[in-house]
Amino acid sequence: MAPRSSSPHLLATALLLALTGFACNGKGDGDGDGGDGDATDADGDRYGADEDCDDQDPNSFPGAPELCDEVDNDCDGQVDEDAAGGATWYQDIDGDEHGTTNVTTFACTEPLGYAAVADDCDDRDATRFPGNPEVCDEVDNDCDEEVDEEVLRGLFLDDDGDGYGDPEITQDGCFEEDGWVFTGGDCNDQDAAISPAADEICNDVDDDCNGLMDDDAIDASALAEDNDGDGFGAPGTSASSCEGADNELDCDDTDRNEPVVADILAGLPTGDGSLTAPFDTIQAAVDASNLCVIVLPGTYNESVDFGGKAITLRSTEGKDATTIDATGLSGPAVRFDSAETAASILSGFTLSGGAGDLEETSESTACSSSSTCTDYFSTWCGGGIYVEGSDPTIEDVVIRDNTLAEAAYLASGNDEYYTYSYGGGACFVDSYATLSGVRVANNFADQGGGIYIDESSTIVFEQVDVLDNDATDGGGIMLDGGSTIATNLLVAWNTASDEGGNVLLADSVASITNATVAMGTAGTGAGLYLAGSSTLRLINSIVSANSPEGIMADSSGYLIAEYNNVHGSVINYAGVPDLTGTDGNMNKDPRFVTVTGNDDWTDDDFHLSSVSPCIDAGSPDASMVDVDGSTNDMGAYGGPGGSW
């Protein structure tokens, strides 16, 4: 503390005392001036130099009041002792500006090691003094005789040692210690795998203590709702979940009896058709179903009859993993001949080994007055699929390696025997059907090696390829008086020993858009043959390298052709005018990606290469643009449905 300055009042008082003292001590020279008459008084304090301890300072003389000025005012040899304005100071050992009464000193300013107050509760600890903030250290920091008051924190019992405590069991404390933590929120303090920091997993437990079970589980997967618990999910309901079905194959998610299940590997004849006790044949499942049948992967050696049911027959793993093989059964792989409708759906199978539906008839006439001649007719139809008087929907199916009987004639006595076959892959009689995403390959029949369509049938083709089929007439597709509407159609490498290598229209009507008809061979009309009074409307298509003719028509055939590329045949147009250069028609190498010519169609790719002149060369009609919005590309992979 700085020394205080002397005030005028103190100086006056000091002077009065000095004069009084002088008189009382009997000193003076009798002239009333307080001096002794013998010494000089340089500072005018009435004390001569022989008594005054500092005759240059009027505030210093014997008996003067001691002042806080670091001067010996009363000339007693001490400085500032008991000075007016001085104070008592208390020893402060720990330097926290708070001392104790054990050791004191008087001084005008705070001495080193002393403090102005004597309220320290521990002068050996600088962290303890009145007013010091209380902290969690198990010490009375503010000297109020309470320890850690108002700074204790809530601790939670942590029995499982996962760092999160039971919110229901608490105590106050300053530090975490064994079994006690500052963080609560544990919903199961007996399981270290369960805490707010845990990952939620699929286990019917609230692992992360957020009040929900299995929400946003790290091991969740895309599952569909399975409300009836039959193992099959409702279409369109898949989401990340721990519960549900890994498929959307349920046709009625409120009925655990649908779908009915067939499994060649795990099924039994005594099964009930559930996922846990499936039938071992598809036919048993079809017979038991009213809505849908689900077939697990495998090869099923049987011939399946829809029996007029409006059901969906679908495989779980698709056509590459699930086969209906009718080898040795003298029938088609699948049959629709009981007035099935478009609600009768076949999806996700390979159909092979079928011999077709057999119709046997006879006609007898009198050969003479004593004998009868009988003609016997055996007609086979539809090795992979036989459709009569029905309108099914067929999607995502491969029809391959079905071989029907060759045409034959035998005379025996008065009788004659005729054998005919139609539609090695599929035969349609008096029917309307839709084929989508279907491949027909390596099949044989006398008429229509791949597909046969009779005069009372109309077939819709969408994204269908017909490859390497053989016949006497109509190697790939034969329309015998029927009609078709086809978009995104690939017909290639089909052979007819007589007429119509790839497509034969016999007195038929066809509308074909975005097709590729290539590499067909025949005696006549290798590519597209319009026999009789047939009409063909052909748009945005490629007819390439058929031998000998690309497009051929009889005299009464009628062709409407726009934006096509007819190229590479010995005769591109036969029986009709050459349309090159008219209505967007051209004659240019289509530049397919790969066509090997090695008699193996699996090595070929009839997509257009980047340098193909057929790119953006189709109709500019806005309704026919490609998937990417550009102008229609000619061929099977152009137009709105070209991305297959």
The string of pLDDT tens digits covering residues 570-594 is 999 999 999 999 999 999 999 999 9
Q: 423 and 454 share a domain?
A: no
Go through the chain and tell me how many residues it has: 644
Residue with tokens 């084929």: 435
3-state helix, strand, coil in the chain (%, to 5): 5, 35, 60
Examine residue 557 and state whether it is found in any structural domain, yes or no. Answer: yes
The residues, any chain, with a CB within 8 Å of residue 556's CB and separated by 6 or more, are 532, 533
**Same domain flag for 423 and 460:** no
CA distance 190 to 156: 14
Please check whether residue 422 lies inside any domain of the structure.
yes
What's the total number of domains in the chain? 3
Give me the domain span that covers residue 370. Answer: 297-435
Same domain, 508 and 637: yes
Q: Do 387 and 481 reside in the same domain of the chain?
A: no
- Alpha-helix residue ranges (DSSP H) falling in 134-290: 282-288
Burial of 232 (0-12, 13-18, 19+ CB in 10 A): buried
Residue 139 lies in a domain: no
Q: Is the pLDDT of residue 37 over 60?
A: no
Residues 337, 460, single domain; the answer is: no
Collect all residues with Cβ–Cβ distance below 8 Å to 284 and sequence separation of at least 6: 262, 269, 271, 273
More confidently predicted of 42 and 525:
525
Which residues are 409's β-sheet partners? 418
Q: How many angstroms separate the first and last alpha carbons of the chain?
A: 98
Are both 453 and 389 inside the same structural domain? Answer: no
Residue where one domain finishes, among candidates 66, 85, 104: 85
Indicate the helix (H) or strand (E) that contains 464: strand 458-467
Q: Where are the beta strands (DSSP E) in 92-136?
A: 104-107, 114-115
Lowest mean pLDDT among 76-85, 324-333, 490-499, 504-513: 76-85
* Under 8 Å between Cβ of 185 and 154: no
- pLDDT recorded at residue 421: 98
| The Cα angle at residue 467 between residues 463 and 472, in degrees rounded to 5 | 125
Does residue 618 lie in a domain region?
yes
Q: Given this model, what pLDDT does residue 39 score?
A: 66
Q: Which of 69, 85, 101 is the last residue of a domain?
A: 85
The band of 598, judged by pLDDT with boundaries at 50, 70 and 90, is confident
Q: Phi and psi for 17 in degrees, rounded to 5?
A: -65, -40
Last residue of a domain, one of 85, 103, 128: 85
Q: 64 and 14 in contact (C-beta within 8 Å)?
A: yes
Q: Going by C-beta distance under 8 Å and a sequence separation of 6 or more, which residues neighbour residue 390?
A: 306, 336, 337, 338, 339, 340, 341, 344, 431, 433
> pLDDT tens digits for 454-487?
999 999 999 999 999 999 999 999 999 999 999 9
Contact indicator for 381, 359 with CB cutoff of 8 Å: yes
- Answer yes or no: are the C-beta atoms of 601 and 441 closer than 8 Å: yes
Strands (DSSP E) contained in 493-532 are 495-499, 503-506, 509-518, 521-524, 528-531
> Domain check: are 366 and 478 in the same one?
no
140 assigned to some structural domain? no
Q: Domain check: are 577 and 481 in the same one?
A: yes
Whether residue 399 is contained in a domain is answered as yes
Q: Is the pLDDT of residue 150 over 50?
A: yes
Question: Which pLDDT band holds residue 331 (cuts at 50, 70, 90)?
Answer: very high
pTM (predicted TM-score): 0.74
Identify whether the C-beta of residue 487 lies closer than 8 Å to the C-beta of residue 514.
yes
